[in-house]
């Protein structure tokens, strides 16, 4: 006989103890029942009932389990492969006072059949052990009691370990899910409502990528400490994984306590955190939703808090949002869009549009920016603003970039066939695409002369992702002869130091700085200083969003070398660009000095 015991913990349904799912077991437990321990996890309690278990014993087991009674029983049973074995089962009910969740601790001991006490079961009544038999086995029972107490404390240790996030000591995801069920069922039984507060760090990946995982871990621990410090006594704080945290907070006072807690989270996480003498700033965004007794399932309130979090992220980060019914509609629409986007990638429904960029000095086209359009089978042509955010969140932006890029060689060939050469094309690249080794391969095998390619990189991309991979990729691209441009300059937080790191040759100033210059003197001053930064670093300046002749003149006077905007042409199909190149002979504009010259010529 092998003496060591098999141990397992099962999480039970709070209303019916006979319904349970195994969450943990030791190796011996698996050996006894003939399963791999990993296969036991997630299984129902019924895997412990073999076909040879006597009917009476089976009923006894179910009765005791249903009624949350501690009991032990000796029985014949079958392993997974059908082999018979004799086992003593010990079942101990446990409950977690913090979460209200209920567990079973099951211990199995194999034994030789001759020591078996017979068990009879009378109808639906629980089996009452025979007094004579009890006396006979009293020593055994004392031993079992002692054993059960030991198992009870062991179970507490195991339950704690399987409930706790090892890095921060907060509740882990499983503990959170169980607790949430408990809170929701309390609410349905008339208990107090509660808020789900979802916290996600902004730019956590950048800390991990640039300073290493140790710094990332320390940051997570410090955020956990902040949450512990500012939360209330009855709150549950969990780390769901990565940089996601969640708090459950009873709504005992007023919604005001929730909003001030959300404010505190934003304020406290904004304070710089010191790692090895370096000060790191990493803000957090927060989404809040209130649980409602009428919710279809407990996950709903978490999904709502997640939608609110997404809203906070897309509206500038380092802020919090309350979930609203509009967000609900939005989240349904987003899910629909996400499904359609995956299909669109498979069907390659993305095409390039081209917008001319003009040399301010000559009025000739210097390049065309490639801007993606989604040819939706029902909705027609969809601009990027309607789907790029969702695609980025899904992590498929690089796939879209790849599809667009694959169409460029043929488009360029068509344009070149006009006989009027388009000097360069500018392509927008997402962070994922820059880091993707196949991008370099795609460029090499595309047949496009690399010196004709301008890569437009968003400030946020190089600020967040200045990993070694991006550094390396950028220098490879430069060595191949490609031009690097920083897009939407002024909208992020690019420092001059950041600019120096990637050494772009072109600086594209976002249209929000160009738009007001005609009427607003301060806007002109701001634009002048942005242009000054680029000029002092020897960069070519592109002004975006030129909509009128006046705009064009002013932008040029203030120092823009290139101009882009609806005034010269909206983004257009390759056929339209082909026609325009032919019609204009590549000259899209007559610059003011040429106009003056021609007037002078007429006057003389």
- DSSP-assigned beta bridge partners for residue 21: 11, 44
| CA–CA gap between residue 468 and residue 502 (Å, rounded) | 12
Any contact of residue 401 with ligand C2E (CB under 6 A)?
Answer: yes
Only segment of 104-112, 442-450, 543-551, 589-597 that touches ligand C2E (CB under 6 A): 543-551
Q: Which long-range contacts (CB under 8 A, 24 or more apart) does 264-268 make?
A: 264/230, 265/197, 265/199, 265/226, 265/227, 265/230, 265/320, 266/318, 266/319, 266/320, 268/226, 268/229, 268/230
Only segment of 198-206, 211-219, 261-269, 561-569 that touches ligand C2E (CB under 6 A): 561-569
- Cα separation values, 302 from 182, 255, 281, 289, Å: 14, 17, 27, 7
Nearer to ligand C2E, 320 or 513 (CB): 513
| CA–CA gap between residue 502 and residue 486 (Å, rounded) | 9
Q: How far is the CB of 49 from ligand C2E (least distance, A)?
A: 57
Nearer to ligand C2E, 268 or 442 (CB): 442
| Cβ neighbours, 10 Å, residue 280 | 18
Any contact of residue 383 with ligand C2E (CB under 6 A)?
Answer: yes
**Structural contact between residues 424 and 452, judged by C-beta atoms closer than 8 angstroms:** yes
Residues 518, 523, 525, 530, CA torsion sign:
negative
Q: How far is the CB of 391 from ligand C2E (least distance, A)?
A: 9
Query: According to CB under 6 A, which one of 100, 384, 423, 516 is a site residue for ligand C2E?
Result: 384
CA angle 93, 98, 100 (to 5 degrees): 50
385 binds, among Mg ion, ligand C2E, none (CB under 5 to 8 A by kind): ligand C2E
Query: According to CB under 6 A, which one of 182, 216, 543, 565 is a site residue for ligand C2E?
Result: 565
Any contact of residue 516 with ligand C2E (CB under 6 A)?
Answer: no
Any contact of residue 397 with ligand C2E (CB under 6 A)?
Answer: yes
Query: According to CB under 6 A, which one of 157, 296, 385, 602 is a site residue for ligand C2E?
Result: 385
Any contact of residue 261 with ligand C2E (CB under 6 A)?
Answer: no
| CA–CA gap between residue 354 and residue 369 (Å, rounded) | 5
Nearer to ligand C2E, 144 or 392 (CB): 392
Any contact of residue 463 with ligand C2E (CB under 6 A)?
Answer: no
Nearer to ligand C2E, 492 or 545 (CB): 545
Residue owning tokens 């360069």: 424
Nearer to ligand C2E, 64 or 511 (CB): 511
Query: According to CB under 6 A, which one of 430, 483, 540, 580 is a site residue for ligand C2E?
Result: 430
**Structural contact between residues 245 and 199, judged by C-beta atoms closer than 8 angstroms:** yes
Distance from CA of residue 298 to its chain's centroid? Answer: 20
Scanning 164-284, the segments in alpha helix (DSSP H) are 173-188, 204-211, 213-230, 255-270
Which of 551, 547, 505 minimizes the C-alpha distance to 527? 551
**Structural contact between residues 265 and 230, judged by C-beta atoms closer than 8 angstroms:** yes
| CA–CA gap between residue 507 and residue 435 (Å, rounded) | 21
| CA–CA gap between residue 116 and residue 73 (Å, rounded) | 10
Binding mask 404-423 for ligand C2E (x = CB under 6 A): x-------------------
Count CA atoms closer than 13 A to 37's CA, side-chain side.
12
Any contact of residue 531 with ligand C2E (CB under 6 A)?
Answer: no
383 binds, among Mg ion, ligand C2E, none (CB under 5 to 8 A by kind): ligand C2E
Name 7's Cβ contacts closer than 8 Å, sequence gap at least 6. 25, 26, 28, 29, 105, 106, 107, 108, 151, 154
Any contact of residue 566 with ligand C2E (CB under 6 A)?
Answer: yes
Return the structure tokens found at 400: 């879209």
Only segment of 140-148, 155-163, 465-473, 562-570 that touches ligand C2E (CB under 6 A): 562-570
Only segment of 161-169, 298-306, 397-405, 593-601 that touches ligand C2E (CB under 6 A): 397-405
Residues forming the site for Mg ion (CB under 5 A): 428, 456, 487-488
Only segment of 141-149, 239-247, 292-300, 545-553 that touches ligand C2E (CB under 6 A): 545-553
| CA–CA gap between residue 523 and residue 229 (Å, rounded) | 44
Nearer to ligand C2E, 196 or 563 (CB): 563
Nearer to ligand C2E, 103 or 568 (CB): 568
Q: How far is the CB of 466 from Mg ion (least distance, A)?
A: 19
Question: 332-361: which residues touch ligand C2E (CB under 6 A)?
Answer: 355
Nearer to ligand C2E, 28 or 398 (CB): 398
Any contact of residue 380 with ligand C2E (CB under 6 A)?
Answer: no
Nearer to ligand C2E, 280 or 371 (CB): 371
Which of 182, 185, 16 minimizes the C-alpha distance to 99? 182
Any contact of residue 371 with ligand C2E (CB under 6 A)?
Answer: yes
Any contact of residue 432 with ligand C2E (CB under 6 A)?
Answer: no
Which chain residues interact with ligand C2E by CB under 6 A?
355, 371-372, 383-385, 388, 397, 401, 404, 428-430, 456, 487-488, 511, 544-547, 564-566, 571
């Amino acid at each position: 006989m092998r003496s060591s015991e098999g141990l397992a913990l099962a999480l039970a349904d709070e209303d019916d103890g006979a319904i349970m799912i195994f969450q943990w077991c030791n190796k011996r437990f698996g050996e006894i029942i003939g399963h791999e321990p990993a296969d036991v996890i997630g299984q129902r309690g019924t895997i412990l009932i073999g076909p040879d278990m006597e009917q009476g014993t089976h009923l006894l087991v179910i009765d005791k389990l249903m009624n949350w009674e501690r009991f032990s029983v000796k029985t014949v049973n079958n392993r997974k492969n059908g082999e018979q074995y004799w086992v003593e089962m010990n079942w101990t009910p446990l409950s977690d006072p913090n979460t209200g969740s209920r567990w079973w601790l099951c211990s199995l001991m194999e034994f030789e059949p001759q020591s078996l006490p017979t068990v009879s079961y009378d109808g639906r009544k629980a089996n009452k052990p025979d007094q004579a038999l009890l006396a006979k086995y009293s020593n055994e029972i004392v031993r079992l009691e002692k054993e059960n107490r030991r198992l009870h404390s062991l179970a507490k240790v195991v339950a704690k370990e399987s409930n706790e996030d090892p890095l921060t000591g907060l509740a882990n995801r499983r503990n959170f899910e169980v607790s949430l069920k408990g809170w929701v069922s309390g609410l349905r039984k008339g208990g107090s409502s509660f808020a789900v507060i979802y916290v996600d760090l902004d730019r956590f990946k950048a800390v991990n990528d640039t300073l290493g995982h140790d710094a990332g871990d320390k940051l997570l621990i410090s955020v956990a400490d902040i949450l512990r410090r500012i939360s209330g006594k009855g709150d549950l704080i969990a780390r769901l994984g990565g940089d996601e945290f969640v708090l459950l907070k009873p709504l005992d006072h007023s919604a005001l306590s929730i909003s001030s807690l959300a404010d505190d989270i934003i304020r406290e996480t904004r304070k710089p955190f010191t790692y090895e003498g370096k000060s790191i700033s990493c803000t957090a965004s927060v989404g809040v939703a209130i649980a409602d007794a009428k919710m279809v399932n407990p996950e709903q309130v978490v999904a709502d808090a997640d939608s609110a979090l997404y809203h906070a992220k897309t509206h500038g980060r380092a802020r919090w949002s309350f979930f609203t019914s509009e967000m609900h509609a939005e989240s349904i629409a987003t899910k629909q869009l996400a499904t359609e986007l995956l299909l669109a990638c498979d069907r390659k429904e993305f095409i390039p549009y081209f917008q001319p960029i003009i040399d301010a000095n000559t009025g000739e086209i210097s390049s065309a920016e490639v801007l993606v359009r989604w040819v939706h089978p029902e909705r027609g042509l969809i601009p990027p603003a309607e789907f790029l955010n969702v695609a980025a969140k899904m992590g498929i932006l690089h796939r879209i970039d790849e599809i667009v890029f694959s169409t460029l060689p043929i488009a360029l060939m068509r344009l070149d066939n006009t006989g009027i050469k388009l000097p360069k094309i500018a392509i927008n690249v997402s962070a994922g695409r820059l880091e993707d080794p196949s991008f370099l391969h795609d460029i090499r095998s595309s047949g496009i002369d690399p010196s004709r390619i301008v890569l437009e990189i968003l400030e946020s991309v190089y600020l967040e992702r200045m990993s070694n991979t991006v550094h390396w990729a950028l220098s490879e691209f430069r060595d191949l002869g490609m031009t690097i441009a920083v897009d939407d300059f002024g909208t992020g937080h690019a420092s001059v130091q950041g600019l120096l790191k990637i050494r772009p040759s072109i600086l594209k100033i976002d249209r929000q700085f160009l738009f007001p210059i005609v009427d607003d003197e301060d806007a002109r001053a701001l634009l002048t200083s942005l242009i000054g930064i680029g000029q002092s670093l020897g960069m070519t300046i592109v002004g975006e969003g030129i909509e009128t002749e006046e705009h064009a003149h002013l932008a040029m006077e203030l120092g823009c070398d290139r101009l882009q905007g609806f005034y010269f042409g909206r983004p257009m199909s390759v056929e339209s660009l082909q026609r325009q190149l032919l019609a204009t002979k590549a000259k899209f504009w007559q610059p003011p000095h040429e106009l003056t010259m021609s007037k002078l010529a007429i006057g003389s």
